[in-house]
Structure 1
């Protein structure tokens, strides 16, 4: 059980920096359960017998919809306890992803999640769980501390040699990029407004698997598109208003 003093320190760091790292959120047996639940996915037909490694290990979007283990950890009580401390109210779960990030995989250009999730009036919170030790060599997450205090940016085209996504935002003047090194089972909780991303996996044989989920506060009034279909942390489905307002700069580049 996390003490009141510890929870308060998490809240203070989150509000100040835009993120907080939780060491050992999950035990190794829990990490194994998450990993194992994705081993049974057959991607062999996705790219055919001559497919490259990126076709063999794609990003898995919304696994909670058909993977009971993914759903279990998306609404896990430990995550819920921390989210309630950060939101200062109950949380709603709205999104999940699983990244394999094998050796040689590209990174993800700097971005802000709430540009896409369009939560109002407050931004979402993302939870990024390390399923492998994560560092600069194998393409760890990077963040720009305090950038959650800035406005949502209009992105520009990213470098296709470094990123699998096409949009990128700039680091605000006076701020800098910090690499988030995590051990297996650690997690980072971060504001939907913070600038973050990753660089390519430059290791020879190390994967950088991660389980990522997103949440809204229960007082959220609107969310973009598919994110408007949510779940309480007890697993009940709820829907809120779809935020049809156009993105500040349009959608992702074609």
Structure 2
């Protein structure tokens, strides 16, 4: 086992500074703005919330696994359904197939250094199943409640691993990630599944609440890669600063693991690719 793999097994996360150069981070942010500027809002936009996604799940959300889709902050719209501000700064994220459908995101998601990292972690055969450009705009970027990524990308056995890239400096003030070393050595509390009626539901696996005691702020510089175990509880606070905290995340699964048909995100498994 490599030293990185041993550290990951012990802590449940890795913090790898200077993983991507600043130029690559800027290119991804510029591409995200370009995609946003070419998006045309048709009717009421789809809202993303980690804790209350069952209330805002719709066909647009459920079909986003095979598309490049745009999701808004929960407070982006007024009581009439109109945007309170400009479209770009009202967005929460873009997802969930950027890594497969956009050439700029594809290059970033399958960089030579990421191939080396995945091999050192024994994950060279993992499949990239989801990607998200997360904006966390200044003064509007909302809270992401404590959660486990395997809740949203459930496999049997558990195999989800996330790679989170700081496209800008992440601080306590602008909503960096929080996690506890060793926090992944716990049970998966729930999984997010389709309800068979066009919506979604959380299926409880363990009623114990996720604890935030002992979590530390992962304040990192632009270009840092944070690797996250699927069972690691983590969260981020609202962005109360005057600086945005853009990040890009990809999630992977083991191709030999069972991926249930009622998982909210569905992809054509034959089309999935690795690093």
TM-score, normalised to structure 1's length? 0.75
CA contact (8 A) 1:89 1:217 kept: no
Q: 1:114: which partner in 2? A: 150
The match for 1:90 among 121, 125, 133 is: 125
CA contact (8 A) 1:135 1:181 kept: yes
Q: Given the superposition, is the C-alpha separation of residues 88 and 210 from structure 1 closer, same or farther in structure 2, using an over 3 Å criterion?
A: closer
Q: Deviations over 1:192-229 (max 9, x none)?
A: 010011001010x2000000000113432325343554
Distance 1:16 1:28 in 2: 30
Q: Given the superposition, is the C-alpha separation of residues 138 and 145 from structure 1 closer, same or farther in structure 2, using an over 3 Å criterion?
A: same
Q: Given the superposition, is the C-alpha separation of residues 169 and 51 from structure 1 closer, same or farther in structure 2, using an over 3 Å criterion?
A: farther
Q: CA deviation at 1:118?
A: 0.6
| 1:193 is aligned to 2:231 | yes
Q: 2:48: which partner in 1? A: none
CA contact (8 A) 2:115 2:124 kept: no
Distance 2:86 2:153 in 1: 25
Worse-superposed segment, 54-63 or 212-221: 54-63
| 1:58 is aligned to 2:120 | no
Q: 1:217: which partner in 2? A: 254
The match for 1:22 among 8, 12, 16 is: 16
Q: 2:104: which partner in 1? A: 69
Q: 1:245: which partner in 2? A: none
Distance 1:169 1:79 in 2: 33
Aligned positions of 1:85-164 closer than 5 A: 85-87=120-122, 89-104=124-139, 105-154=141-190
Q: CA deviation at 1:137?
A: 0.5
Q: Deviations over 1:8-31 (max 9, x none)?
A: 221111000000111111011211
| 1:226 is aligned to 2:265 | yes
Q: Given the superposition, is the C-alpha separation of residues 121 and 50 from structure 1 closer, same or farther in structure 2, using an over 3 Å criterion?
A: closer
Gaps of 5+ in 2: 46-76, 192-201
The match for 2:26 among 32, 38, 43 is: 32
Q: Deviations over 1:29-70 (max 9, x none)?
A: 211211111111225636699623595323111123532211
Q: Given the superposition, is the C-alpha separation of residues 182 and 81 from structure 1 closer, same or farther in structure 2, using an over 3 Å criterion?
A: same
SS of aligned partner of 2:23: helix
SS of aligned partner of 1:106: coil
Q: Given the superposition, is the C-alpha separation of residues 194 and 17 from structure 1 closer, same or farther in structure 2, using an over 3 Å criterion?
A: same
Distance 2:17 2:267 in 1: 30
Gaps of 5+ in 1: 1-6, 156-165, 235-254
| 1:171 is aligned to 2:204 | no
Q: Given the superposition, is the C-alpha separation of residues 77 and 199 from structure 1 closer, same or farther in structure 2, using an over 3 Å criterion?
A: same
